[in-house]
Structures are given as C-alpha cells and as structure tokens.
Chain A
Amino acid sequence: MAVTRRDTLKSGSAALLALGFPSSLQAEEVTAEQAIAAFVKGGEILQGGITLDLEDTAEDGFRVPVSVTAEGAEAILIVAPANPVPPIALVAFGALAADQQLSTRMRLARTQQVLALARMPDGTVRQVSKHVDVVVGGCGA
C-alpha cells in the first residue's frame, strides 16, 4: 500500500500529541469543580459579601490584575475554570490581616467567567463571578 500524504500527517500528529502532553502533567490536574468542592467543604454557597475587581477586557492574558475582598472571611479562592489549571490562588488570612483583601496578577488562557469564593467563619461560602474578555490568551497558564 502506498503511503499517502494523509497517512503521514496522521501518524505525525499522533506522535506530536504523545510528545506534547507528558503524563506527569495530567497526574495532578485539578478540575475547577474539585478545587471548589475542596474549598467549600459542604458549606452553603451564598451570593454577595465578596467583591472581585477585574477589568472587563484583559489585553494580555499573561498578566491580569485581580483584587478580591470579602470582609470577615477566613480564606478566599480564585478560580479560572477555562484555564488548564483552574485554581489560581488560595489566601488564608491571619490574626494580623487588617482586612480580607488580596491583590495579585494572574494568567487567563481565554475569555471566561472568573470565580472568587470566600469561606466565612460560620462555614458559609460567599461566591462572585465576573466575565472577562481575554484578547491575547495567556496560553500555558
């Protein structure tokens, strides 16, 4: 059987797939649902009581400024569900934190709805989300 150009392409792309995604990467993949469930710990999820400051359009997905505030929270989790690794950062506030606010910079792979969750001392969880248009994706986030 003659080897067609199409056959060559097929085998080539299969080889690339095998090379490009080493199994070690998949081993510790955490889905957005898993990350959220581990944070919520079965608590009731309520809206409000948390703010997520984020620009509507991120020109550069490699470096998106983000700020979360939740008064009285024990901890806050930021999640970007459409990223290859959805959890971004988890912050726990100690006794000397003057307020429950953290600003940082994150990577966004593509346009998506970014989530922030805050766990309160009474066990409830506050949730907020914000849609962000990403112009140049921080691919490899």
Chain B
Amino acid sequence: MKTWIEIGSLDDIPVRGARVVKTSRGCIAVFRTAEDEVHALDDACPHKGGPLSEGIVHGGAVTCPLHNRVFDFATGAAKGADSEVVATHSVKIVDGRLMLDITGLAARNVA
C-alpha cells in the first residue's frame, strides 16, 4: 500500500534541478531530469550528510556537492568505487501535480 500526497507541480522544479520537501523525519530531495522524469531521494548523502538537492543532475543520477559521490536515482546506490546507498522514495506525476509516496518515511522512527 502506498500513501501518496501532493507536494507541488512539475514546473516548480528546474530542469536538471531539484527542490526539497521538508518532513519531521528528514528532508526529501525531489529531482527533475532532462526528460521530465521525477525521482526522490533522502536529501542527505550517507557519506557526510551533504544536501543532494544541491548536486548536479546528469542522466539518471545526481552528484553530491560535498565530495562528488554519484547516486543513481533508480536504486539510490552510489556509482563506481563508492558503496553507500541512499533511501529512494516513489514519486509520480498526475495531471502535472507531483505525488510523493510517504510510506517509507512513515515507517521510520521519529529521531
């Protein structure tokens, strides 16, 4: 079961850019690719907590602005020699509105 909530519209996010969704259990970075696909990852690099929403988006991946780890949107796994994995969240576009699945977040313990 997924729990979708509306977070805004596609136009709110720059192409090859990202915006942040704030929650009580951490921030989510929502990315928009060159093909207008949207993806969501935790907005904290598992390495040193860098804000992935501020990274450069290329292909289906983002590069962390602090130490250049590259995370794949589909799996959340770091590419190349790095082994970190960042949590992914489902996000979909319905009539131009962005819907985020918060099931994963809701299951987290409040820190």
Q: Do A and B bind each other?
A: no
Enumerate chain B interface residues (CB-CB to A < 8 A): none
Enumerate chain A interface residues (CB-CB to B < 8 A): none
